[in-house]
Amino acid sequence: MDSKAAQTVYLIDSDESVRRAMKRLLRLAGLNVRSFASIGEFLQVECSYENACLIADVKVLEEDGLELQARLAEAGCRVPVIFVTAYDNRMARDEAKKMGAVAYFLKPVDDQALLDAIAWAFDDVGS
């Protein structure tokens, strides 16, 4: 069985066009994708974090992606997190790094850089 077939990327972004473009890219790369328009929507769904990673915006509507990262860590969930955001600031970057984010990208993100970060996240989980 192809190892990518079992890999799931959870994508949280309030911008429908961003979700659609990222889903297309990730599916073309052979990844399973589940997308959500809000953190609240994501938290309402049962997710398996085994062989998974999370891509989230730092600001999703009025919700905070960094707080989500902290909540998941406090709950013992070790899912790798990648941030892709238009809301950049040094404090957010530093906090994401401190909490163990795999990567922090500004929109628009380079497709290959995002795919490389995802591959690195899955390699890190598998080791």
Encode pLDDT of 33-66 as tens digits: 999 999 999 999 988 888 999 999 998 878 899 9
Q: Higher pLDDT residue, 6 or 34? A: 34
Q: Where are the domains of the chain?
A: 3-126
Range with the lowest mean pLDDT among 5-9, 21-25, 79-83, 88-92?
Answer: 5-9
pLDDT given for residue 3 in this prediction:
52
Report the predicted TM-score, pTM, of the whole model to 2 decimal places: 0.91
Q: Which CATH architecture has domain 3-126?
A: 3-Layer(aba) Sandwich (3.40)
pLDDT given for residue 66 in this prediction:
92
Encode pLDDT of 16-25 as tens digits: 999 999 999 9
Long-range contacts of 67-76 (CB under 8 A, 24+ apart): 68/12, 68/39, 68/42, 68/43, 69/96, 69/99, 69/100, 69/101, 70/99, 73/99, 73/100
The residue among 109, 98, 116 whose CA lies nearest residue 22 is 109
Q: Tell me, rounded to whole angstroms, the distance of Cα 40 from its chain centroid.
A: 15
Question: What is the pLDDT confidence band of residue 102, given thresholds at 50, 70 and 90?
Answer: very high
